[in-house]
Each structure stands twice: as C-alpha cells, then as structure tokens.
Structure 1
Amino acid sequence: MSTPTVRASPAETPEKADAAAWLAVAAGIIGAFMAALDISITNSALPQIQGEIGASGTEGTWIATSYLVAEIIMIPLSGWFTNMLGLRKFLLIMTTLFVSFSMLCGFSTSLGMMVFARVGQGFTGGAMIPTAMTIVSTRLPPSQQPIGMAFFGLTAVMGPVAGPLVGGWLTENASWHYAFFLNLPVGLGLLTLLALGLPAAKMRKELLFEADWIGIAGLSIFLGCLTVVLEDGQSQEWLESRFIVILMAFTLIGLVMLVLGQIYSKHPVIRLSILFQRSFGSVFVTALVTGAALYGVAYLIPQFLSSITGYNALQSGTVVLLSGVPMLLVMPFIPLLVRILDLRIAIVFGLLCYAASCYIDTSLTGGADGGDFYVSQVLRGFGQAFSLIFLNQAATRSVPRHLVQDAAGLYSAGRNLGGSIGLAIIASLQERQVSLHTQRLFETVTANSVVMQDRIREAGTDPAGAQQVIGSLFQTITRQATVMAFNDMFYFYFISLLVVIPMVLILKPIPKGSSVAMH
C-alpha cells in the first residue's frame, strides 16, 4: 500500500472536471454511502431477522458485528488492492461482490448463512470508503475537490444515522429482506457509473509476489480480533470468557506480525510509522474520538427513545437523522470555508459544537421524548460537519504525498475502530451505571422513609395493594436509574470531545487560498 500513486502535475490537470469525472465521483460517493449505510441498516430489523433465521438475541449481534469486523479489515488494505488491480477494475469487482453478498443476506435462512454473507458484504463494502476519496483526488482538479470532499463527508455522517431509519421503514412497510435487496438496483447503477467514469488501468501482477503477506495477515488478524473483543467483550464478561482471552492472544499475535512486516518487508502493507508523526498522530487520535462519538451517540439516542419513551424504530430513526440536516446546509459553503478558514479553527469549532450537544443531553428526564433532542441534534450536526470534513483534509495534509493512501486507510479505519471502542465503552459503563444509580436510589427509599410510608398508606391494608405499590416504586426507580445512566454516557462523550481538542493544535495549517489536496 506504500507504493506511490502516479498523479498528474498541476499543468496537466484541467481547471474543470468533465462529465466522466463527475460520474466517477458520483460512483465513489454512492459506494461509500452504501457501505456506511449497511453498517447500521439491520439494527432496526434485528428482532424480525433473528426470528426468521432462528437466532437468539446474543447470536443476533453477530449480524452487525460480522459486517463491521470485515469492513475494518478491508479499509486499510484497499490501497494495496488498488495499486495491484487498478482503481476501476478493483471497484467493479468489489461492487459486483457487494451486491451478490447483499442478495445472499436477503435470502439467508440460517445464522451461519447470514453471518457468512455479512462478512462478504462488509469486506467488499469496506473497499468503497477510502477509494471514494481516491476518486475525488484523481478525477477532480484542486479547485473542485472541496465539493467532492463535502459529499464524502456527508456519507460519513448520514450513513450511520440513516441506516436505522431506512431499515426500520423497509421492515415495517415491506420486509427486512428489502434492507438487503435495496442494494441490487443501486449497485447496478453504481457499476454503470464506474464503467463510464473511471479509466482502465493495467494490472500490476508483480505486486502480488512482492506483497507484505506477513503484514497483510497480521493486519487482518489484529483488526478482526480486536474488533470482536471490543464488540463482545462486555457480553462475554471480558477475561472471564475463554473465547475473549483467546481472541486477545490472537490480537497480540496479529500486532506482532504487522510490526514484523514493517521491519522486514520492502513494501509494507501500510506504513504504521506515520502514526508516530506528530501531526498525523493527532489526526488519528481525534478520528478515534469522533468515531466513538458518531457511532456511540447514534446508538444511545434510539436506545433511549425505545426504552424510555416507547418510540418505534422509524420514530427513533427520524430523530437521529435530524443531525444530517446541518450537513446539507453547510455543504454549499464548503469550498469557500476551506479557502478562508484555518482547518484547526474549523475542527475546534466542530468539536465544541459536538461536545455542547452531548452536554445538552446530560439533563434528560424520564418524561423526555424526541422533541428534547431537536436542539442537541441540530448542534451535533454542525459539529459533525465541521469536524469530519476538515479532519478528512487534515489527514491528507499531515503526511507527504506518497503516503496519503496509507494515511487515508488508517484514518478511515481509525474512525470505524473508534466506533467499536465507543460502543464497547457504552456496553461496559451503562450496565455498571444503571446498577450504581439503582442502588443509590434504593438507599434513599427505605421501608421507614416518608415516601415508602406514604405509598403503603395509600394502598390501605390490602396486602396485594401494598405489593403492587412496592412493585410500581421498583419500576420507577429502575426507570430513573436507566435515565441517569444515559445522562452519564452523554457526559462521557462531552468530556472525551473536550479532552481531544488540544490535539488539534498540533495539526499543520493549510495556507488560506490554497487548493485542496486529497489522496
């Protein structure tokens, strides 16, 4: 993946892209959106899917986890495949396979069949995320690249938040199968755009024999096992589970193999050394945190609205999707903002908006509904727009040009890995916080407390009535403890986003008026 990509000199680059170039950009954006959408499109339909394929609640989580694991593995490998096969051939193959695996998901009748298809879907879909940025940089002139960058940023925000809404609507109005069948017409259109918009390139077979196979295997084992550990560690009780311990061991083995590839291979699969460069290292850490917030908050809000307010999947998805509206409003101004704003100021502004939106959600009550999230969701949308779009820019500006493919792969993988870390933290802390708040609330309501005595007095002398009062009080305390735990999670993200802001000051500024450089 470290092989330099041949780029046209400024004199050879046209000032305006032709129709074929814009077709290629459209293909890249649609592909990236499909891949991001399918991460969460099954969340709303999981109960129905589990019922039809005979999977338990615990087994059903693999329907989502298997996709994410495979996608994270593929993202940093996509640069190497692009160099070997050529961008056009690589994406045509990946899109065809993505559609095929999507159809297999829709026809699945067992858990094994579904997980196999989701792994294939995630692996092929993961190729579409970093390559979308490659298309923007190679097919658009510098003056028009901010437009492509804005559309790519839209996929990063809208994909995860639109997934539950699209999946919920299709499940309620048709069937969960159509959440996968939807990719067939979109994929056929995507294949047409790729064929028309991307030029053919000669396959470089020699890269197959010069490949860093130890590093490729190590990267796959490391990222795959680490993601599963993060996703399932809490449910398996971490070190109490032999399965998790074995996966941790393989994670370490994969990391060692990846490092050996860095040392001994002439062409490492990906240059990990750029993580230790001050500027890109700060980008990567910021990407981890913003990824955790992006996926974590997109998970928390539907969970709150479902468990506390009683919203269905479609209603919850509508509230989550609201954060995408500011992105649509900001997009027309992105080319201007890139030219006049210091990217550090833009990212700090985005992170502050993001943090403020999380702080607003730390005061939720048991009577909260979707309307209580409107202000925070709009503010969150502006935060996502500025932080993610300008972080894309910072990732490619923080390394030399011949390392931008490595930087793009690590950045995209870091953002998705951050999502896994964020969800793992939620799974671990939420259960603990609910238990903690429940215990503290019960300590204030003893048998001799005024509240308890008043409730029992209202029930009279009927034992059944007294039992009913106690049961009602227990439900009220549990509900309130759950709300308090949600508030704690939003507060956690508020602090995390504030803490990472100093990392932004390390980034290299882009001179005002300069053209946008992307990989």
Structure 2
Amino acid sequence: MQTLAQPKAAPPAAAFDLRIMTGLTGILLASLVAGLNEHVTDIAMTDVRGVLSVSHDEGSWLTTLYEAAQVAAMAFAPWFSATLSLRRFTFGVTAVFMLAGMLCPLAPNLPTLYVLRTIQGLFGGCLPPMLMSAALRFLPPGIKLYGLGAYALTATFGPNLGIPLAALWTEYTGWQMVFWQIIPICLLAMAAVSWGIPQDPLRLERFAQFNWVGLLLGLPAITSLVVVLEQGTRLGWLDSPFICRMLLLGLTTLTLFMINEWFHPLPFFKVQQLARRNLTFSLITLGGVLVVLVAVPGIPAGYLAEIQGYRPLQTVPLALYVALGQLVALPLVSALCNFTRVDCRWVLACGLGLIAATCYLGSAMTSDWIRDNFYGLQMLQILGQPMAVIPLLMLATNGLPPAEGPFASAWFNTVKGMAAVVGSGVLEGLTTAREHFHSNTLVNQWGNSGQALSITPSDSEGLSALAEQIHVQAVVLASADVYQVMTLLTAILILFIPLMATRVYPPRPLAASHA
C-alpha cells in the first residue's frame, strides 16, 4: 500500500530585517516586470509586423502564446519553488525571462519569435506566485496586509504601466526597447533576491513523487482554454472547428486534472482547500473583479483610438493615471483594513460599488467624448480597485498555515491569470458582437425611414459619410453595452458578500491576539 507523503512544514521565517526587505523588493520588481511585459507586443505590433513581414492574424499569436504559457506557469511554479528553494528558483526564472526578452528583437523570423515569447511567458508567469509566497512567509503579522497590497500591484499597477512605457519607447526610440526595457530592472531584482532572500535547502526528494499525470493534464487544460479565449473572436468561436477541438480538449483535461489533484499525495493544487468558505468566495469574486478591471480600461482606449483617432501615446495619460494612483491608494486601503474595528467585507462592498458606479456612468458615453471625459471614471476606478482586491486577499489568506501558502498561491495566481485572459476575451468578443448588432439595427432603421431614397448608388461620398456615421454610433453603443454588462456583473458580486464571506480580522502576533 502506498504511503501518502505529508507536506513538510515551510522553513521557518527569518527575522524581518533590511536583507529580507531587500529580497522582497527584488521579487516585487521581478513580478511587476512580468506584468509590464505582458502586452508589449500589442503596442509594438505594427513595427514587428513590418520587420518580419507577417499578417495581423499571425502576429496575434505572439500575445496568445505568451498568455497561455504565463497562466500555465502560474499553476505549477509554487511546487517547483518549494522544491528548489524560493531564492534559487526566483533568481533562475528571472534570468531566463530577461534573456528571452533580450533575444526577442534579434529573432530572424516569426517562428523563432514565437518560441522566445513562449519561453518568456513561461518564466514570467513563475514570478507573481513567488511574491505571494514570500509575503505570506516572511512578513510579520502586523504588516502582512501591506505585503498583500504589494502583491495586488501585479494585477493593477504593472499592466497599466506597461502600456504607457511601450507607447513611449515605440514613439521616441524604437520597438526593440519595448523588449529591452526589462533588462536593468531584472538585473536589479536578481541582485536583491540573491542578497536578501535566505537560501533554503534543496528538497529533491519531492521529485520521487512528482505529479507527472497532473503536469501532463494541467498544461494542455490551461493552455487550450487560454487559446480559446484569445483566438475565439478572431476565428468565430464555435463556428471554428479548431476552437471546438481546443475547447473540448481543455474541458476534458481540466476535469481529469482536478480529479487527479484530489487524490495525488503531492499535488500542484490542493483541491481540499476549497472547503474553506472564504477561500472559495475570494477566488470566485477575484475572478469576477479582475474580468471587470481588465475589460473596463480597454473600453476608453479602444474608443479613443477608433473613433477619435488617438495614437497609443495619446491614450497614455489614462493608463498612467490609474497606474500611479495605485501607488497611493493601495497602501491607504491596506492601512484601513489593518484596523481591527474595520470589517473588510464592507471595504470590499464599497470597492465593488465604486467599480459599479464607474461602469454605470461610462454607459452614458456619446460620440462627443474625448480623453478628458474619462478622467472622472478613472478616479473612481483608482479608489475601487484596491478596495476590492485587498479585502479578497485578506479573506483568503487569513489564518492560512505556512505549509499551505504555496497551494493558495497556485490557486490565486492561476485564477488571476485566467481572469485577465477572460477579461480581454469578453471585451473583444462582446464589443464585436454588439457592434455588429447595432450596425445592422441602424442600417435597417435608416432603410425603413425613407432616407435611403436621398442617396443614390453613384453617390460615393454620401455612402461613405453614412457608413462612417453608422460605424461611429455602433462603436459608441457597443462600448456602452459593455459598460452595462460590467455594471451587472459587479452588482452580482456585491450580492455574494453576505451570502458567502465570514468576518475575518487583520493578522496580529499571537501575544497581541490574546491581549
């Protein structure tokens, strides 16, 4: 009879001092760079396509491959870090991530760039889970919420900062800098991690019970579903045999993967953790919140580019406004939630309410809106994002034993990665579908009104002007529809709070908790 391996206790936390703080800062920098690098090919796509002579459809796979590899890595990285040691693993994946970024602009052809971006996504996806694992392990209870706030920066600050930086490099230097911007930050992060994080011993005995079945099931499950979400709109969703096959593969292998994880003695995911009410609630709500937080910022950017003709650099202030605002808002919300008298569920409800208000006000947009009209909405989003994310992290991790930290990190980061992909897919798919619907409706209304008689087929200028007007109105109405859907989704998440979440208190030292 096989003896089930019991997970060893996590190594004892070292005294929190300057070295530990330096090491945590290094992991934070590496994690932020991974998020910053996520969508750089979207901004530099025109230049990349010109250099390599590729089509838009071929170029779209650069983002898809990166995203698929990144989300898959988030699921399995905590296991490898516990086996190889946090310092050794973080240093190694940061080095490979940086090296792949250095080589991307030097790729001689598209297949080579595909491989490099996949490698970069794979190793970049390993970095955010390390930040959560390190924060749960090293930070004293009294300041643990600030560490979770720093982790929240990977979901709110990094992606919003990546777009402005990529636009600046593309406009003023060259598209190569979009990839090379990570080099100095990665070098600094590696130095900080090497000096500041304690070196744990190797635990190679864990490979004796390595979960090969889970790896062989989990990788195709996650990557297939990401490909479906990323390429679904372009290929026509279920009208595409390729999308149908990938969806079937993803759902089948995901089901088998979860069954395997339940019974395996050394799993990547501890499915039994879902019995913890707050963890399950937090994962569900976090997924919904991140779908909204990814979809909503894309609406003004897409509208301003398509309708008002803004270049990427001209939309930079909106993303930069949100990114820099997080540096102020996140510590303040962490401090608020650190008060024992503050129920973090109310903070969560207020944050979701602000996000819902942002979406509701945005649904009133018209074709006259310019960049300045979105600043008020961005202010609400700056306040709402951390008020939604910090309480969820607190609800999920409070009272979690250190040995279970890697499992919680795997759950949270995989949900975070998948939610980001779902948000992008929902924004693109829903916008396209509603734009087509409104275009057809407007054309039918115009044809039935009798105004069609005023324009003859030979009147090319009149037909062109009419088509442009219909397109503008269709885009505006579709954008408003997306805002309305996001308002409804956020309202549903608010209703979940009294139904699922139980009160938790901010972490405190044992002596203080008995005082």
Does the 8 Å CA contact 1:2/1:405 hold for their aligned counterparts?
no
CA contact (8 A) 1:293 1:419 kept: no
Cα separation, partners in 2 of 1:119 and 1:463, compared to 1, 3 Å: closer
Match of 1:490 among 458, 480, 483: 483
| Contact 2:11–2:200, Cα closer than 8 Å, also in 1 | no
Alignment correspondent of 1:233: 232
One-letter identity of the residue aligned with 1:6: A
Percent identity between the aligned chains? 23
| Unmatched runs of 5 consecutive residues or more in structure 1 | 457-461
Residue pair 2:136, 2:402 contacting (<8 A) in 1 also: no
Query: What's the offset of the Cα at 1:476?
Result: 0.5
| Pairing 1:133-144 to 2, within 5 Å after superposition | 133-144=132-143
**Retained in 2: the 8 A contact 1:301–1:320?**
no
Q: Which amino acid aligns with 2:238?
A: L
Whether contact under 8 Å (1:147, 1:334) holds in the other structure is no
Contact between 1:217 and 1:257, CA under 8 Å: does it hold in 2?
no
Displacement of 1:310:
1.1
> Which stretch shifts more, 127-136 or 426-435?
426-435
Give the alignment of 1:408-419 within 5 angstroms: 408-419=409-420
SS of aligned partner of 1:89: helix
TM-score (ref. length: structure 1): 0.91
For 1:74, the equivalent position in structure 2 comes to 73
1:274 Cα deviation after fit:
2.6
Instruction: State the match for 2:290 in structure 1.
Output: 291
What's the secondary structure of 1:193's corresponding residue? helix
TM-superposed deviation, 1:383: 0.8
Structure 1, 211-220 or 390-399: larger mean CA deviation: 390-399
Whether the aligned pair in 2 keeps the contact of 1:52 and 1:109 (CA below 8 Å) is no
Pairwise CA distance, 1:276: 4.9
AA in 1 matched with 2:95? T
- Is the alpha carbon distance of 1:285 and 1:48 closer, same or farther for their aligned partners in structure 2, counting shifts above 3 Å? same
- Residue 323 of structure 1 deviates from its aligned partner by 1.8
SS of 2:41's partner is coil
Q: Which residue of 2 aligns with 1:459?
A: none
Q: How does 1:313-462 map to 2 (within 5 A)?
A: 313-340=312-339, 341-397=342-398, 401-446=402-447, 449=450
Q: Check if 1:507 corresponds to 2:501.
A: yes
Q: Shift of the alpha carbon at 1:182? A: 1.3
Contact 2:158–2:323 (8 Å) recurs in 1: no
CA distance in structure 1 between the partners assigned to 2:414 and 2:322 by the alignment: 23
What do the CA deviations read for 1:283-334 (whole angstroms, capped 9, x no partner)?
1111111121122123222111100111111111221222234322224434
Shift of 1:227: 0.6
- Are residue 163 (structure 1) and residue 156 (structure 2) matched? no
Q: In the superposition, relative to structure 1, how do residues 276 and 47 fare at CA in structure 2: closer, same or farther (>3 Å)? A: farther
The residue aligned with 2:303 is: 304
Q: Aligned-pair distance for 1:351?
A: 0.9
AA in 1 matched with 2:116 = A
CA-CA distance at 1:422 after TM superposition: 2.1
TM-score if structure 2 supplies the norm length? 0.92
**Structure 2 residue 5 is the aligned partner of structure 1 residue 6:** no
Change in Cα spacing, 1:313 to 1:306, as seen in structure 2 (3 Å) is same
SS at match of 2:63: helix
> Which stretch of structure 1 is more off in the superposition, 389-398 or 157-166?
389-398
CA contact (8 A) 2:86 2:200 kept: yes
Cα deviation code 1:117-139 (max 9, x no counterpart): 11111111111101112222323
Cα pair 1:160 1:295 within 8 Å, conserved: no
| Aligned twin of 2:96 | 97
2:278–2:501 contact (8 Å) kept in structure 1: yes
- 1:14-33, aligned counterparts within 5 Å? 14=15, 17-33=16-32
Query: Aligned partners of 1:305 and 1:292: how far apart in 2?
Result: 21
Which amino acid letter does the alignment assign opposite residue 163 of structure 2?
Answer: P
CA contact (8 A) 2:145 2:338 kept: no
Could you tell me how far 1:452 is from its partner in structure 2? 5.5
- CA 1:188–1:359 in 2, change beyond 3 Å: closer, same or farther? same
SS in 1 for 2:447: coil
Structure 1 residue 401 displacement after superposition: 4.8
**Which stretch shows the higher mean deviation, 231-240 or 121-130?**
231-240
* Match of residue 474 from structure 2: 481
Query: Matches of 2:411 and 2:74 in 1, distance apart?
Result: 8
Deviation string, structure 1 residues 204-249 (Cα, Å, up to 9, x no partner): 1111121111112211111111110111122112233222222123
Q: How far is the alpha carbon of 1:463 from its aligned partner?
A: 8.2
Residues 96-143 of structure 1 show CA distances to partners (whole Å, capped at 9, x for unaligned) of: 111111112121232211111111111111111011122223232222
Q: Distance in 1 between matches of 2:213 and 2:434?
A: 42
Provide, for residues 148-180 of structure 1, a one-character-per-residue CA deviation record: whole Å limited to 9, x for no partner: 222222232111111111111101111111111
Q: Which runs of 4+ in 1 moved over 6 A?
A: none
User: SS in structure 2 opposite 1:247?
Assistant: helix
Q: For the Cα contact (< 8 Å) 2:52–2:109, is it kept in 1?
A: yes
User: In the alignment, what sits opposite 1:247?
Assistant: 246
Q: Distance in 2 between matches of 1:252 and 1:390?
A: 31
The alignment yields a C-alpha RMSD, in angstroms, of 2.3
The corresponding residue for 2:513 is: none
| 1:19-52, Cα deviation, whole Å (9 max, x unpaired) | 1011011111101101111112222111111221
Kindly tell me: are residues 118 and 452 of structure 1, through their superposed partners in 2, closer, same or farther at Cα, counting changes over 3 Å?
same
> For residues 125 and 94 of structure 1, do their structure 2 counterparts lie closer, same or farther at Cα, with a shift above 3 Å needed?
same
